Amino acid sequence: MKETLHISNNQKINAFLLFFIVTATQIGVGIHGFQRVIYQDAKQDAWISVILSFLLAHIVVYIMMKTLDMYDSNDLYGIHIDIFGKYLGNFLNILYIFYCSSAFFVIVKNYTEVINTWVFPYLSSMFLCLSILSIIIYTFKGGFRVIIGICFFSFFFLLWIPPILIIPLKYSDLNYLLPILDNELKGILKGVMSMSFTIVGFEIINFVYPFLKNKTKYKRYVHLGMLFTLFLYLSIMFVSLTFFSGEQLMKTIWATLTLFGFIRLPFIERIEIITICLWMIIILPNLCLYMWAAYRGVQRMVNISVNKFLLIFSSIMFVSGIFINKRTDINLLNDWFGKYAFAVVFIYPFILFLCALLKRQIKKMQVSNSEKS
Amino acid sequence: MKKVKQLLLILIFCSFLIGCTETKILERISLATLIGYDVANENDENVTATVIIRQVSPDNKSTLETQTNTEATNQGTRIKVNLQTAKKMLAGQTHTILFGKNLAERGLEEPLHGLMMNSELSSSIYLAVVDGDAKPLIEGNYKNITDIGQHVYNLIDHNVQRQHTVSSTLHEVVRNNYSPLRDLAIPIIKKEKDIIKINALAIFAGSKMVGQLTSEEAFYVIMLRDKFKAGALELKLPGDTLDQEKNTDEKLHVAIDSIQSKRTIKLVDKSTPEYDVEVDLACRIVELHSNANVGKPDVTKKLEKAIGKEIEKELKRIVKYTQEKNSDIFGFGDDYYASVRNSNLTEEKWNELYPNAKVNFKVNIEIVRNGVFE
């Protein structure tokens, strides 16, 4: 279709980098405590919920890519305008920009909360927020390719997690996984919904798509990236389910961190403190890409310079961060965002796909009609 | 552009300053290494905490001091302790936490919850119950022990590593406490003149201590709960095991070590409930008070049988004891829940079922080798 984005070749990236982009955006703050939320619904079958949610995610991402393939080189914002026209399209764009911004906000808030609880209880969360924002602005100014480079590096900061999980495995009891499928299907499906907060991130391909060099063979990298995340989430889920007893898991707010807290290495006694600080590098690409996606949308609607956007965006984030500080507020925010993300990421792509199909059909008919007459 | 860069640079330097927040310089803090909790008063909720505090001074010597205070919550005692010390007290180096017997009998629910809520403490610290009160044990004078905090930790740690006693890390204790179908077992330590020793094993029903097993019996508890990687055991077999002429009252003493065991628990009848427990145990004989030739196959077989029988007898006795106390420290309830679908097993229901449960044992012994001298 007609609208295309023109990206110069030196801005484009290799398709295989999508693997790192997808894993980097999927793995964020959710991994710290997703076990408890899912356990509440699915009990000992929580790992089935994890698998099912990834199955659903693979289907969704396939539909997303199908929609993107209908256009030569365009991102979601352009597709919206093409399908729904200027006004409705822009309205949807605003909703999506809002989604990206709230994802950004949720990540910052959750991370500062973890730091405040585990490492520096007396440090003002405003100061933390400010320093995180300054690092992100610095990265963001480097441009798209720098952000992708951070994605690439942050991946290697994740690789130490699976081997270190072997240590708590010694204390695990397989009985806690049994009996399999003893709960109602409803609970497991509810668990799938609760996963949405942790699993989202792959929707970023909607915006990265026009920047790909080779658009024919990119799908496999997206799926591979998601498989890696599945592997990581599933191994953490299995270890947590067998390591904690049910009631205990429900009471543990950040089960992954408590799990790390148990590990004692000869040269360092509390590795979770280091893990938390290291996590900055893991959430950095997350934050940058969401900010970047929001910027792409804003730029389409109003002519705005990068500096101005950064200033406005970060001040909004900073100011709204002042109001939400209590744990209860953050929990409410997470719940709300989980639902919003489920609607935006898991349901909306299907609607969009149908609309795109319909639009193409109508166009075809119009073309054949005009040929006849 | 240049201005923005300068501004960013300043911001980034600010973020490096994060390293200067909340400094905890070793010379300016005191580290709690061992904490003991006791019941302060029979009538109220208050708990007495006794803390061993290590202070590192610049001249390379560290001093120890003991502080005692009574308050209802952990934090309350902490504030009071801070009022008595010259340096800020931090709990991150605590490796062991002791509970007085009276407190254990009153219930550990609240103390455990308080410990888990605190992010300062790792969940791999050890818990132990003290025979009597914790305070006299901590404050006592010992001839050969310089640092009692480290000493108690090492005492428990090496015995747990060698599987002489049940592992009681905070995590495991809390896990069993919050699992409705399984109860706790925590080692009991006791002061005896100049030494501290692991004396027994406390067993709990719910979170209240209801009875105790001797430290020899702890071996069987581990055997049923877990697998052995390296254990050791001394047994008294009937006197006529190897020598028909001797009578049964004379005892034949055997010591085995390098024990490796594996247990399988099977629920055979879910209404009674009835379990089949099979223990496979491989070991080495290190001591045998008899002149019989252990190298001979038939002698070995006799020994294996007698040892198996003896272990079965002990296991039965111990399980019976826990049933009387209604303390399921072996996790039979978890097995029940895991193998019965839609059981809707609750804590109350299991408390009714467990005392009547039937457990059949089968112990298969394999003597792999004996010492260097027959």
pLDDT tens digit string along A337-352? 999 999 999 999 999 9
pLDDT reported for residue A106: 93
A118 contacts on B by Cβ (under 8 Å): 119
For A154-196, how does the pLDDT look when each residue is reduced to its tens digit (9 = 90+)?
A: 998 888 888 888 888 888 888 888 778 777 888 888 888 888 8
pLDDT reported for residue B246: 65
Interface contact A263-B180, CB threshold 8 A: no
pLDDT reported for residue A103: 93
Alpha carbon of A262: minimum distance to chain B alpha carbons (Å) = 5
Which chain B residue has the Cα nearest residue A133? B11
A244 contacts on B by Cβ (under 8 Å): 175
Residue B4 lies in a domain: no
For A200-219, how does the pLDDT look when each residue is reduced to its tens digit (9 = 90+)?
A: 888 899 898 888 888 888 88
B35 and B167 share one domain:
yes
pLDDT reported for residue A373: 63
Give the mean pLDDT of B224-250.
Answer: 73
Q: Is A120 on the interface with B (CB under 8 A)?
A: yes
Residue that wins the pLDDT comparison between B370 and B105? B105
pLDDT reported for residue B344: 76
Residue with tokens 């499928």: A181
Count of the separate structural domains present in chain B: 2
* β-pairing verdict for B185-192 and B126-130: parallel
Residue A307 has pLDDT above 50, yes or no: yes
Alpha carbon of B168: minimum distance to chain A alpha carbons (Å) = 11
Give the mean pLDDT of A105-129.
Answer: 88
pLDDT reported for residue A312: 93
pLDDT reported for residue B23: 74
Neighbouring C-beta atoms of residue A20, cutoff 10 Å: 22
Give the mean pLDDT of A95-124.
Answer: 90
Q: What stretch of H or E contains B174?
A: helix B170-178
SS in 3 state form for chain A? CCCCCCCCHHHCECCCHHHHHHHHHHCCCHHHCHHHHHHHHHHHHHHHHHHHHHHHHHHHHHHHHHHHHCCCCCCHHHHHHHHHHHHHHHHHHHHHHHHHHHHHHHHHHHHHHHHHHHCCCCCCHHHHHHHHHHHHHHHHHCCHHHHHHHHHHHHHCCCCHHHHCHHHHCCCCHHHHCCCCCCCHHHHHHHHHHHHHHHCCHHHHHHHHHHECCCCCCHHHHHHHHHHHHHHHHHHHHHHHHHCCHHHHHHCCCHHHHHHHHCCCCCCCCHHHHHHHHHHHHHHHHHHHHHHHHHHHHHHHCCCCHHHHHHHHHHHHHHHHHHCCCHHHHHHHHHHHHHHHHHHHHHHHHHHHHHHHHHHHHHHHHHHHHHHC
What are the extents of the domains in chain A? 16-372
B38 and B114 share one domain:
yes
CATH of domain A16-372: 1.20.1740.10
3-state helix, strand, coil in chain B (%, to 5): 35, 35, 30
Interface contact B18-A131, CB threshold 8 A: yes
For B269-301, how does the pLDDT look when each residue is reduced to its tens digit (9 = 90+)?
A: 878 788 888 888 888 888 777 776 777 788 888
B202 and B234 share one domain:
no
Interface contact A269-B122, CB threshold 8 A: yes
Q: Is A34 on the interface with B (CB under 8 A)?
A: no
Give the mean pLDDT of B147-167.
Answer: 87
Alpha carbon of B90: minimum distance to chain A alpha carbons (Å) = 13
For B246-269, how does the pLDDT look when each residue is reduced to its tens digit (9 = 90+)?
A: 666 677 788 887 778 888 888 888
Name which of A135, A178, A307 is nearest B339 (Cβ-Cβ).
A178
CB-CB contact of B311 with B365 (8 Å)? yes
A171 contacts on B by Cβ (under 8 Å): 169, 171-172
Interface contact A247-B180, CB threshold 8 A: yes
Residue B245 has pLDDT above 70, yes or no: no
CB-CB contact of A285 with A147 (8 Å)? yes
Alpha carbon of A97: minimum distance to chain B alpha carbons (Å) = 25
Give the mean pLDDT of A254-275.
Answer: 85
> Tokens representing B1?
């552009």
ipTM computed for the complex:
0.78
> Tokens representing A187?
């609970």
Q: Is B145 on the interface with A (CB under 8 A)?
A: no
B59 and B86 share one domain:
yes
Interface contact A134-B15, CB threshold 8 A: yes
Residue type, B337: Y
> Please, which residues 48-107 of chain B have a Cβ atom closer than 8 Å to chain A?
92
Percentage of residues of chain B with pLDDT beyond 90? 1
Interface contact A138-B22, CB threshold 8 A: no
Neighbouring C-beta atoms of residue B284, cutoff 10 Å: 16
Interface contact B169-A134, CB threshold 8 A: no
pLDDT reported for residue B19: 62
Interface contact A131-B331, CB threshold 8 A: no
Interface contact A258-B123, CB threshold 8 A: yes
Residue in B220, B328, B198, B325 with CA at minimum distance from that of residue B281: B220
Q: Rg (Cα) of chain B, in Å, rounded?
A: 26
Contacts of B201 (CB under 8 A, 6+ apart): B165, B166, B185, B186, B187, B188, B212, B213, B214, B215, B217, B218, B221
Residue B367 has pLDDT above 50, yes or no: yes
Interface contact A117-B178, CB threshold 8 A: no
Residue B342 lies in a domain: yes
Name which of A137, A245, A262 is nearest B124 (Cβ-Cβ).
A262
For A48-92, how does the pLDDT look when each residue is reduced to its tens digit (9 = 90+)?
A: 999 999 999 999 999 999 888 888 788 888 888 888 888 899 999
SS in 3 state form for A117-157? HHCCCCCCHHHHHHHHHHHHHHHHHCCHHHHHHHHHHHHHC
pLDDT reported for residue B326: 85
Name which of B8, B18, B116 is nearest A137 (Cβ-Cβ).
B8
The region of weakest confidence among A325-339, B147-161, B338-352 is B338-352
- Indicate the pLDDT class of residue B168, thresholds 50, 70 and 90: confident
B200 and B266 share one domain:
no
Percentage of residues of chain B with pLDDT beyond 70? 93
Tell me the pLDDT of chain A averaged across its residues. 88
Which chain A residue has the Cα nearest residue B120? A118
B142 and B193 share one domain:
yes
Which chain B residue has the Cα nearest residue A171? B172
B264 and B187 share one domain:
no
Interface contact B334-A141, CB threshold 8 A: no
Among B195, B220, B245, the domain-final residue is B220
pLDDT reported for residue A2: 47
- Indicate the pLDDT class of residue A95, thresholds 50, 70 and 90: very high
- From first CA to last CA, the distance across chain B in angstroms is 88
Give the number of beta-carbon pairs within 8 Å between A and B. Answer: 89
Interface contact B179-A131, CB threshold 8 A: no
Alpha carbon of B4: minimum distance to chain A alpha carbons (Å) = 9
CB-CB contact of A5 with A78 (8 Å)? yes
CB-CB contact of A186 with A52 (8 Å)? no
The region of weakest confidence among A22-26, A177-181, B353-357 is A177-181
Residue A224 has pLDDT above 90, yes or no: yes
Q: Is A126 on the interface with B (CB under 8 A)?
A: no
Question: Which of A133, A167, A175 would best serve as a mutation to test chain B binding (most B beta carbons within 10 A)?
Answer: A175
Alpha carbon of A91: minimum distance to chain B alpha carbons (Å) = 33
Which chain B residue has the Cα nearest residue A116? B119
Give the mean pLDDT of B353-371.
Answer: 83
For B44-92, how does the pLDDT look when each residue is reduced to its tens digit (9 = 90+)?
A: 777 888 888 887 777 767 777 788 877 777 777 778 877 887 778 888 7
> Please, which residues 154-173 of chain B have a Cβ atom closer than 8 Å to chain A?
169, 171-172
Whole domain around residue B264: which residue ranges?
227-374
> Tokens representing B88?
């800020």
The region of weakest confidence among A21-25, A241-245, A313-317, B240-244 is B240-244
Residue B254 is part of a domain; what is its CATH number? Answer: 3.30.300.210
Q: Rg (Cα) of chain A, in Å, rounded?
A: 21
Residue B107 has pLDDT above 80, yes or no: yes
B185 and B275 share one domain:
no
Residue B121 lies in a domain: yes
Q: Is A315 on the interface with B (CB under 8 A)?
A: no
pLDDT reported for residue B20: 67
Alpha carbon of A237: minimum distance to chain B alpha carbons (Å) = 17
Interface contact A248-B174, CB threshold 8 A: yes
Contacts of A154 (CB under 8 A, 6+ apart): A20, A24, A281, A282, A284, A285
Among B220, B238, B273, the domain-final residue is B220
